[in-house]
């Protein structure tokens, strides 16, 4: 995988869908303020119901906040926005249009890893650690490492980047610092709440200075 086009100095902003944009973990009867409910049947969702006719598959409930689109477009003045989600290219079909986003580049995950990670779309099931997904040289990654992390380090190819996701931990921070260097912001978003104003402030500050508010560089938010 190679990094997206654009200036080597312009940071990437990797966007997860489920958690940051779709607060799937919020209580079903308590849709977060500002969100609208959408019912979708992306192919990735249908694939999780093998043998069941598409017409009988219950649509996936997705909560989206159109204000997020405006805020992401503002950040797009400083970042190159990239989908980093198991929705894959379907994020451009189902999520982007609702938020008013243009078609964005998409990180392509290895096939087996992508299928394993698709559980995050439903908000159920454990997220697989990459210790069960060995690297290209046959070695295993550290236990507890999020399966997306090594692939995004490879995709960034040395460019500064920020990444919003609901599955980030200190293990990922350490891995990125060692493999990529300090110019990365791993910002965890609570999947019960989705992106909020402090998150956008943090992302804007990192794009401007390369540090989080408070002076930390390359941390997990």
Domains: count for the chain? 1
On whether residue 93 sits in a domain, the answer given is yes
CA 188/CA 126 separation, integer angstroms: 17
> What is the CATH number for 71?
3.40.50
Q: Residue 129's domain spans which residues? A: 12-209
- Is residue 221 in a domain? no
For residues 204-213, average pLDDT: 85
Mean pLDDT of 121-141: 46
Among residues 56, 72, 61, 58, the alpha carbon closest in space to that of 20 is found at 72
Q: Look at residue 98 and tell me if it is in a domain.
A: yes
- Please choose, from the candidates 207, 25, 15, the residue with its C-alpha nearest in 3D space to the C-alpha of residue 125: 25
Residue 94 pLDDT: 98
* pLDDT interval class at 4 (50, 70, 90): very low
118: pLDDT strictly greater than 50: yes
What tens digit of pLDDT does each residue of 9-66 get? 799 999 999 999 999 999 888 889 999 999 999 999 999 999 999 999 999 999 999 9
Structural domain includes residue 5: no
Length of the chain: 221
Strand duo 12-15 + 80-83: pairing: parallel
Task: Please give the backbone phi and psi of residue 201, each rounded to the nearest 5 degrees, phi first.
Answer: -60, -45
For residue 110, is pLDDT > 90? no
Contact 16, 166 (CB under 8 A): yes
Indicate the pTM of the whole model.
0.85
Whether 2 is in a domain gets the answer no
């Amino acid at each position: 995988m190679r990094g997206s086009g654009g200036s080597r100095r312009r940071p990437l902003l990797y966007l997860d869908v489920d958690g940051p944009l779709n607060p799937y973990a919020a209580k079903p009867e308590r849709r977060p303020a500002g969100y609208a409910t959408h019912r979708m049947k992306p192919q990735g969702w249908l694939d999780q119901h093998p043998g069941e006719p598409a017409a009988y598959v219950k649509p996936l409930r997705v909560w989206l906040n159109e204000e997020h689109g405006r805020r992401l477009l503002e950040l797009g003045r400083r970042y190159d926005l990239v989908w980093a989600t198991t929705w894959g290219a379907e994020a451009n079909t189902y999520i982007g249009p609702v938020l008013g986003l243009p078609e964005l580049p998409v990180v392509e995950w290895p096939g087996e890893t992508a299928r394993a990670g698709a559980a995050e779309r439903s908000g159920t099931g454990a997220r697989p650690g990459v210790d069960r997904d060995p690297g290209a040289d046959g070695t295993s990654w550290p236990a507890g490492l999020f399966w997306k992390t090594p692939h995004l380090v490879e995709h960034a190819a040395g460019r500064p980047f920020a990444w919003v996701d609901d599955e980030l931990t200190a293990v990922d921070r350490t891995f990125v610092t060692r493999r990529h260097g300090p110019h990365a912001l791993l910002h965890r978003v609570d999947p019960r709440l989705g992106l909020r104003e402090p998150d956008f402030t943090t992302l804007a500050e990192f794009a401007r200075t390369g540090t989080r508010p408070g002076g930390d560089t390359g941390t997990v938010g």
